[in-house]
Amino acid sequence: MIIAGAGSGKTRVITYRVAHLIRNGVDSFNILVLTFTNKAAREMRERINHLVGPEAKNIWMGTFHSVFAKILRVEADKLGYPSNFTIYDTDDSKSLLRAILKEMSLDDKLYNANFVLNRISAAKNNLVGWHEYQNNDQIQADDRSSGREHLGKIYETYAQRCYRAGAMDFDDLLFKTNELLKNFPDVLNKYQHKFKFLMVDEYQDTNFSQYLIVKKLAAVNENICVVGDDAQSIYAFRGANIQNILNFEKDYPDLKIFKLEQNYRSTQNIVNVANSIIANNKEQLKKNVFSEKEAGDKIKVMRAFSDNEEGKMVAEAIMFQRTTHGLKWHDFAILYRTNAQSRSMEEALRKLGVPYKIYGGLSFYQRKEIKDLIAYFRLTFNPNDEEALKRVINYPRRGIGDTTVDRIIVSADQNNITPFEVIINPSQYLDGRTSASVGNFSTMIQSFQVITKTLTAYEAALHIAQHSGLLKDLYADKSIEGLNRYENIQELLNGIKEFSEREDIEEKGLDIFMQDVALLTNDDSDKNKDADTVSLMTIHSSKGLEFSQVHVVGLEENLFPSQMSLNSRSDLEEERRLFYVATTRAENKLTISYATSRFKFGTLINCEPSRFLDEIDAKYLELDFSAKPASGGSSFFDDEREAWSRKTDTFSKPKPAVVKTTSILAKAHVPSPGFAPSDTSNLQVGMEVEHERFGFGKVISLEGNKPDVKATIFFKEIGQKQLLLKFAKLSIVSK
C-alpha cells in the first residue's frame, strides 16, 4: 500500500512500478491498472509507453467502469445480455423511471425520479438486487415509514425494462461484474489467472462493489498494489468507503506500506496549513507531509460583509495578482462548497471583464442535439434500446405523437416483446394512419444497421446525421442558438473522424466510439481546457487538479462545514478532508474568505466563521480585511488588525497560538430602532448617514448626475464604500 500525500507524485510512482514490472519480465497482458478517470489512465499509458515502448498498449488500464464494461461485453451472453448492450447515462435512467412512475400512477413528487434513482444506485453499490431489496425486512420497513412502499416494485420494473432493452446503467457495470464473478466460477478463475498484477489508483474512493471485485480478482496471486490518501477521501456521498484503505492491512496481513510524504506542488506554508487542518481528524493513517519549496506567502484570510462583497474582493484580488506578477488567467481557481456560490463570483468577475469558466456545468455530450444524434447511433446498434427509440422516433417531426409512442410501449408490454419489434410490424399493433409513419421510421433504422457494417465510423455517422433528417433540421434554424447546435454536431462528427484515423487502436467502428462516449468521466468531456480563463468549480470537482493561486470561498458554519455534516464525527471529518483537498490544490498562493452575511432562499442571514479557521495554526495566516487590494491596500479595519496582532503576539512563545477567528470579527450592523431610508436627492458632502448593513458613516464625495449620483462614504465599521444613491437606502442622521 502506497500512502501518497497531496502533490507527492503518485502518478509517477504508478507509472514507474508498471514499467519496472514489464522490464523484469512480467507480461504486459497480465497487468491490470484501475483508475477513476480516463484522463489518469491516458496520462499513465503515455508515460509508460515513453518508458517501455509499444508493450504499454497491452496493459489492461482504465476506469473501473471501462475495464469491466470490456469484460462484460465478452461475457455478456452468460448474463443474458447482447454483447452490444447500451450503457444508460443518468438522463436515460431518469427518463425510464419517469415512464414507469407514470404507468404505475404514482405521485412523482413522493417518488421523485432523482430520489428513486439514488435509492436504486445505493442498493446496487451495496450489491442488493431487486429480489434482495424486496425480501429485506429492514429496507421494506424503512420504505413503509417514508410512505414509499412501492420502491421495491419500481426497482424490479426498472431492472426488467433495462434487461429487455439490452441496457445497463453505470451502476450495473459493477453490479453485473460482481454477479458474473460470483455465479460463474470459471469466469472468475479465468480473470484471476489473467490479471496476475493489480494496481488500484485512488483506493480511498472505492465503494463496496469495487472493493469486492478487486478482492476477488487478487485472491489467487495477491500481487496487489493500491495507491491512495485517506486524507483525500471525499466521496462518501456516492458510496466511497474510507474503511477500505484504513483496513487494508486486515485483508492482507503480509502488507508492506510505503509513504510518499514530500509535497512537490505547494509552498511550505500551504503544506503546513493543510497539515494543521487534517491533524484534527481522529480516523486517519498518520504521515508527515512536508515541502522543500520556499516558505511562500502566508495564507491570507479575507472577510466580507456579504456574499456579493466577497465576490468583489476575490475578483479584485485576482486582477491585482495577475497584473502585479504577470500571471495568466488560468493560473487562478475559485473553489466553493456548493454550486450556488458561483453566482456572486460570476457577477463580480463579469463586472471586471475577467474571463472565467465554470467546471461541472453542461458537458458537450449532454447537449440536446448531441444526445439526439447519439440516440440514433445507439438505436442502430441496439434496436431494443427503448430510451433511444422514444427520444428520436419523432425527431425530426414525422407525425408520430406521444399517444402513438405510448401505444407502442403498451403493446410491447402486453405481448412481452420489445418496442422495436412492435414498430417493425406496425400494422399488427397500430391503426393505419400512424402505422405508415412508424413503418418508414423502422425501415430507416434497419437501413442504418446495414450501412454501418461497411462504412467507417465517420462515414456511418455522417450518413445517419444526414438521412435521419437531423442535420437538415438544425441547418434550417438560422438563429444564434440553431447555428451553435449545428456547429456542435459538426464538432461531434469531427471527433468521430479523428477517432477513425487514430493509430493506437485496432477497432475503429462507430459502435466502439459509442462505447468510449458512454464511459466518459466528467474530466474527459471538456473541449476547451487550455483556454485562458479563471476556473470556478466545487471542491469535489477540483480533486486531482492544481493551480498557481487558489481562492477557497465561503468558510462559514453550516456552509463549510455543511449543516448536513454536523450530525456525526465521520461526516464532519469528511468535510475536514474536503477542506484539506481544497487547500492542497494551491501551488504558490492560497487565499481563504468568508462573509458575515449571506442571502439564503431570498433572506439575508448572519453567518458565523467556520470552525475550520480556528483549527489553522495562526502563525501561517495573514488576516486581510482590505476590500480594495487592487489599489494597493488601505487602512480599513485598524481595530480588527490590532486585535489580530494581540492574538498573534504569542507566536514567539514555545507553544504556537491558534487564533480564535470568531472573537475578532465585527458582527453585521444592527439597524437603529425605527430605521427608514431618507430622501437622498439633496444629500451633501459632510452629512452623517446610516446604512442598514454597513452602519454609520460620513459622506466624503458625490459624483455623477441625477438619478445616477454616486456617493463615496466612509463607514466607521467597514471603511470606504461607493454607493449608487437610488439603490443605497441611506438614513440621514445629521446635516
The model's pLDDT over 119-135, given as tens digits with 9 standing for 90+, comes to 999 999 999 999 999 99
The architecture in CATH of the region 666-734 reads: Beta Barrel (2.40)
Q: How many CA atoms lie within 13 A of 589 on its CB side?
A: 18
Integer Cα distance of 166 and 418 in angstroms: 10
Which CATH class, in words, describes the domain spanning 366-520?
Answer: mainly alpha
Q: How many CA atoms lie within 13 A of 714 on its CB side?
A: 9
Determine whether 347 is an active site residue: no
Residue with cell 447537449: 367
Instruction: Please name the helix (run of DSSP H) or strand (run of DSSP E) that holds residue 199, with its range, or none.
Output: strand 197-200
Residue whose C-alpha is closest to residue 303's, from 619, 589, 596? 596
Q: Is 192 exposed, middle or buried (0-12, 13-18, 19+ CB in 10 A)?
A: middle
Report the DSSP pairing between strands 688-691 and 695-703.
Answer: antiparallel
* β partners of residue 731: 690
| Residue 622 · residue 313 · CB < 8 Å | no
pLDDT of residue 307: 87
Listed in sequence order, the residues at least 6 apart from 565 whose beta carbon sits closer than 8 Å to its beta carbon are 571, 572, 574, 575
Q: What is the CATH number of domain 86-165?
A: 1.10.10
Catalytic residue among 11, 90, 134, 243: 11
Determine whether 729 is an active site residue: no
Integer Cα distance of 601 and 616 in angstroms: 31
Integer Cα distance of 259 and 380 in angstroms: 50
Burial 608-624 (b: 16+ CB within 10 A, else e): ebbbbbebbbbbbbebb
Residue whose C-alpha is closest to residue 365's, from 355, 378, 381? 378
Residue whose C-alpha is closest to residue 449's, from 467, 435, 422? 467
Whether the link from the prior residue into 561 is cis, omega within 30° of 0, is yes
Determine whether 11 is an active site residue: yes
Output the CA angle 93-94-99, nearest 5 degrees.
100
Q: Which residues are annotated as a binding site?
A: 4-11
Integer Cα distance of 606 and 628 in angstroms: 23
Which residue ranges of the chain lie beneath pLDDT 70?
Answer: 361-363, 503-506, 520-530, 600-603, 625-670, 735
Catalytic residue among 86, 232, 267, 549: 232
Catalytic residue among 75, 143, 202, 387: 202
Residue with cell 498573534: 648
Catalytic residue among 148, 298, 577, 585: 585
pLDDT of residue 602: 56
Taking the CA atoms of residue 217, residue 223, residue 226 and residue 227 in that order, the dihedral angle to the nearest 10 degrees is: -140
Q: Which residues are annotated as a binding site for ATP?
A: 4-11
Whether the link from the prior residue into 707 is cis, omega within 30° of 0, is yes
Integer Cα distance of 19 and 51 in angstroms: 7
Q: 448: which DSSP letter?
A: H
Report the DSSP pairing between strands 621-624 and 603-606.
Answer: unpaired
Distances (CA, A) of 158 to 120, 168, 456, 712: 9, 11, 35, 63
Backbone angles phi, psi at 212, to 5 degrees: -70, -40
Number of residues that this document lists for the chain: 735
Integer Cα distance of 268 and 601 in angstroms: 40
- Which cell numbers in the block locate residue 315? 475578483
Burial 263-280 (b: 16+ CB within 10 A, else e): bebbbbbbbbbbbbbbeb
Output the CA angle 299-304-309, nearest 5 degrees.
120
Burial 672-703 (b: 16+ CB within 10 A, else e): eeeeeeeebeebeeebebbbbbbbbbebeebe
| Residue 252 · residue 222 · CB < 8 Å | yes
What are 12-53's pLDDT values in tens digits?
A: 898 999 999 999 999 999 999 999 888 888 888 889 989 998
Check the CA dihedral 714-718-719-723 and report its sign: negative
Residue whose C-alpha is closest to residue 342's, from 370, 307, 377, 297? 307
Same fold, 86-165 and 366-520: no
pLDDT of residue 524: 53
Determine whether 35 is an active site residue: no
pLDDT of residue 460: 93
Integer Cα distance of 427 and 590 in angstroms: 68
Output the CA angle 309-314-320, nearest 5 degrees.
125
Which CATH class, in words, describes the domain spanning 2-79+174-260?
Answer: alpha beta
Integer Cα distance of 656 and 648 in angstroms: 9
Catalytic residue among 10, 265, 543, 576: 10
Determine whether 589 is an active site residue: no
Distances (CA, A) of 151 to 55, 97, 109, 239, 649: 49, 11, 13, 20, 61
- Which cell numbers in the block locate residue 254? 503480509
Helix and strand tally (H, E) in the chain? 31, 22
Residue whose C-alpha is closest to residue 68's, from 172, 159, 198, 163? 172
| Boundaries of every domain in the chain | 2-79+174-260, 86-165, 299-363+527-623, 366-520, 666-734
Whether the link from the prior residue into 383 is cis, omega within 30° of 0, is no
Taking the CA atoms of residue 120, residue 122, residue 125 and residue 128 in that order, the dihedral angle to the nearest 10 degrees is: -60
Residue whose C-alpha is closest to residue 236's, from 612, 569, 2, 611? 569
Residue with cell 446525421: 465
Determine whether 70 is an active site residue: no
The architecture in CATH of the region 299-363+527-623 reads: 3-Layer(aba) Sandwich (3.40)
Alpha helix (H) residue ranges in 148-207: 151-164, 170-183, 185-194
Catalytic residue among 169, 172, 201, 690: 201
